Amino acid sequence: MSLRLGDLAPNFKAVTTAGNIDFHEYLGNGWGILFSHPADYTPVCTTELGKTALLQEEFAKRNVKVLALSVDPLDKHNGWVNDINETQHVTVGFPIIADEDKSIANAYGMIHPNASETFTVRSLFVIGPDKKIKLTLTYPASTGRNFHEVLRVIDSLQLTANYSVATPADWKEGEDVIVVPSISTADAIQKFPKGVKEVKPYLRYTPQPNK
């Protein structure tokens, strides 16, 4: 199954290191990140979950709940968490899903047979409060993800969901944003009192409106 942007994120019930959950209920009215890793007790995955644990407060500030997943069993997850905490100097406080029957991995298209017939690739999904897919990322097993980039994308998604703006290349929180093409320059001047800079009729900048 290939999930696309705007699709409803499949709901599921799962066994996790934080107890049994219903995915949609767990997310509530907030945002969610669901990301898979190929296997427990592997080096790249250990650093990824450690980095995510280091950024737990940053995700919480953005009303984002994070869930990791692999097809390994729960007892293996619990032992591995101890290793992550020890080697990465963190405390993993988010659930790790034990998807032994691969039902969640298959629902989200996390198994790519040409890469591995048994293990999930490094898939990541950002899910909005409407439970729809807002972002998908897929990395090979050999490459760890950049979770600061995931935070940057969350900032952009949350900003552009509430204002008629888009974010330019390499944008970071606090920088100028782009006025969407559907708004005329005259209307943009009224809508964005901090000012509108027109570079071209289709390329207009304004200071980040919620700052």
Give the residue numbers annotated as catalytic, written as ranges: 45
Measure the CA–CA gap between 109 and 131, rounded to whole angstroms: 17
For the four alpha carbons of 161, 164, 169 and 175, in that order, the dihedral sign comes to: negative
Q: Find out whether 104 and 14 touch, Cβ atoms under 8 Å.
A: yes
Backbone angles phi, psi at 169, to 5 degrees: -55, 135
Strands (E), 45-191: 64-70, 96-98, 122-127, 133-139, 165-166, 177-179
Is residue 164 within 8 A of residue 183, CB to CB? The reply is yes
